[in-house]
Amino acid sequence: MTVKKTQQNLSTTLENTEQVLGGLENSLGNNEKVNLLATAEDREANDGLPEGWCETTLGKFTDYGKTKKVERKDVSDDLWLLELEDVEKGSSKIIQRLSVSERAFKSTKNKFEKGSVLYGKLRPYLNKIVMAPEDGVCTTEIIPINVEPFGSNKYLFYWLKSGEFLGYVNKVSYGVNMPRLGTKDGLAAPLILPPLAEQAVIAQTLDTLLAQVDNIKNRLDAIPKILKTFRQSVLAAAVSGQLTEEWRGENKCGRSEDEILNDIESYKYKAWLAAQESKYEAKGKWPKTDSWKNKYKKAEIDPDFKQRDLPSGWVFQPLEGLVYIAARIGWKGLKASEYTEFGPLFLSVHSLNYGREVKLSEAFHISEDRYEESPEIMLENDDILLCKDGAGIGKIGIVKGLVDAASINSSLLLVRSGKYFVPEFLYFFLAGPTMQQLVQDRMTGSAVPHLFQRDVKGFTLEVPPLTEQTEIVRRVEELFAFADQIEQQVKNAQDRVNNLTQSILAKAFRGEITAQWRAENPDLISGDSPENGSAELLLAKIKTEREALKKISKPKKKTAVSASSEKGTSK
């Protein structure tokens, strides 16, 4: 797909997605920001709760914290074993499903049944909550909850994801690095409870509405990956001449290939002479004759490089001799203890983590002496820095706005464009697919990935005329600005989606999305039984059932008479 076609598709995809999002927002009348710390007073100010609803606590509706424990010997090999890492934060998606035989079973687990709500109490701000699609066991940091048949598990699932509940648990969770919701606080957590029949209707309605939100979110989440591919395709088109094909038709080069190559070779030779003379000058010792000039070797194009028919005015050239490439000599490396509070800037890969331009404010400082001992890597504006080893291999940045003396550490490579490159064009080439492929080759072909100077010097480029390079840079920056704009629009839309999810939940737990249903089904919320009556009747039924279970499970105390009679019988 061409760059222009991809650009059109991105615009159309985002426009269509925003229309769907806007339509859903309008249908819901969504213009609110959700208060994650909503209180009973807030609800009272908004006309309170609907008829038959009540405010209660999680402990009165559920047996939060009461779980059935199992050991490894109690379960079969093929039973599902869920860990917190298997649940994607916020989305309630199960991203990995492994059986007991497929992972370590190191400690006691909680057992759960299909349809239960599985609540991740560790770092509850991650909002890891799922509905169990099948029976299984899980880490004790996940609490299984089952309120059936006296409530709707799906309704409870959505309540646990609501802004009000999240606000509460974030406030009461204990532990600095790994906060968790304690059982006591879990039982005391707030719960808005509708009648039993309405719980099911709310859950079904939320399923429908939030499926639409998820669909929008998935479409938005796919765009950043497309943008990454788009940027790489722009760079590929730029350095191959596709981006300026029409421009060349109106702007002829006017020079033959031989003329250009002769000029380049003359430039390389003169640059080599200057470099050698600088070395002799630094040593203070010169050769007695000019025979040293015969050591110059013309850089050859890699025989494995696949050449193609080039656009008019373009030539193939290896980077060696065409640009200045340097790195810190190994024995001149610095330790952190040598950093100073002030002095010349000392740049590392950390300065390459902030976009195209090198972030100078992320630099350390070194002494004047350590700076001056490496004149070959004293930085200038428009220098390109390339990370050549370590975790950041392949990262790249261009130096802009430099006013202070600056140098680089041993992980970076300095590339200076010279006469035949517009600096930004060279940057775009090194940031493009060719460079990234070399990085991948080094990462997969070596235990310790590393780019040597010879690797970069051996690059063969298709070098356009400077006027065309300038036009290429202009067009790339224009297309990248378009990509940046799309990226920002996606972020804004994602924020709207995230707010929409919580807004829908808030409306559900105020009874707004089931207002019409209540008007049409008064007999299902105003009856005199837990099944068709108020939430208060439902809670009373749950309390009665719990008390009955306590009596059944509680062993009878033996009286003194019965105890003595048993002794007599045993005789």
Phi and psi based region of residue 550 (left: phi greater than 0; alpha: psi -120 to 50; beta: remaining): alpha
Instruction: Give the per-residue pLDDT at 145.
Output: 97
Instruction: Give the per-residue pLDDT at 565.
Output: 47
377-387 as b/e, with b when 16 or more CB fall inside 10 Å? bbbeebbbbbb
pTM for this predicted structure: 0.79
* pLDDT above 90 for 560: no
Share of the chain above pLDDT 70, in %: 92
* pLDDT above 90 for 88: yes
Lowest mean pLDDT among 43-47, 323-327, 367-371: 43-47
**Over the chain, what is the mean pLDDT?**
89
Tokens in use for 516?
Answer: 């019409």
Backbone CA torsion sign across 101, 103, 104, 108: negative
Instruction: Give the per-residue pLDDT at 46.
Output: 54
HSE value, Cβ hemisphere, 13 Å, CA-based, for 204: 7
Separation in Å, CA 283 to CA 256, 286, 287, 316, 393? 41, 8, 11, 36, 34
The arithmetic mean of pLDDT across residues 430-452, rounded, is 77
* pLDDT above 70 for 37: no
For residue 406, give the H/E element and its range.
Answer: strand 406-408
Instruction: Give the per-residue pLDDT at 254.
Output: 84
Strands (E), 93-226: 98-99, 109-112, 117-120, 129-131, 136-138, 142-145, 190-193
Tokens in use for 217?
Answer: 């979110």
Instruction: Give the per-residue pLDDT at 564.
Output: 46
The arithmetic mean of pLDDT across residues 1-13, rounded, is 87
pLDDT digits (tens, 9 = 90+) for 374-408: 999 999 999 999 999 888 888 999 999 999 999 99
* pLDDT above 70 for 199: yes
CA-to-CA distance for 275 and 323, rounded, in angstroms? 12
pLDDT digits (tens, 9 = 90+) for 476-492: 999 999 999 999 999 99
Separation in Å, CA 427 to CA 268, 384, 389, 452, 508? 20, 7, 18, 18, 53
**Residue 431 identity (one-letter amino acid):** A
Instruction: Answer yes or no: are the C-beta atoms of 457 and 325 closer than 8 Å.
Output: yes
Instruction: Answer yes or no: are the C-beta atoms of 433 and 235 closer than 8 Å.
Output: yes
HSE value, Cβ hemisphere, 13 Å, CA-based, for 501: 21
The arithmetic mean of pLDDT across residues 110-117, rounded, is 97
pLDDT digits (tens, 9 = 90+) for 250-305: 998 888 889 999 999 999 999 999 889 988 888 888 998 999 999 999 888 877 77
The arithmetic mean of pLDDT across residues 151-167, rounded, is 96
Instruction: Give the per-residue pLDDT at 253.
Output: 86
The arithmetic mean of pLDDT across residues 134-156, rounded, is 96
Range of 28-32, 278-282, 558-562 with top mean pLDDT: 278-282
Backbone angles phi, psi at 181, to 5 degrees: -90, 115
Between residues 229 and 302, the one the model is more confident about: 229
Lowest mean pLDDT among 300-304, 345-349, 493-497, 502-506: 300-304
CA-to-CA distance for 166 and 169, rounded, in angstroms? 5
* pLDDT above 80 for 31: no
The arithmetic mean of pLDDT across residues 15-43, rounded, is 71
Instruction: Give the per-residue pLDDT at 179.
Output: 94
Lowest mean pLDDT among 83-92, 388-397, 421-430: 388-397
Instruction: Give the per-residue pLDDT at 36.
Output: 45
The arithmetic mean of pLDDT across residues 65-94, rounded, is 95
The arithmetic mean of pLDDT across residues 26-52, rounded, is 65
Tokens in use for 563?
Answer: 């105890």
CA-to-CA distance for 522 and 532, rounded, in angstroms? 9
Between residues 25 and 445, the one the model is more confident about: 25
Instruction: Give the per-residue pLDDT at 59.
Output: 96
Between residues 53 and 390, the one the model is more confident about: 53
- C-alpha distance across the termini of the chain, in Å: 97
Q: Residues for the chain: how many in total?
A: 571
Instruction: Answer yes or no: are the C-beta atoms of 354 and 416 closer than 8 Å.
Output: no
Between residues 166 and 564, the one the model is more confident about: 166
The arithmetic mean of pLDDT across residues 322-342, rounded, is 89
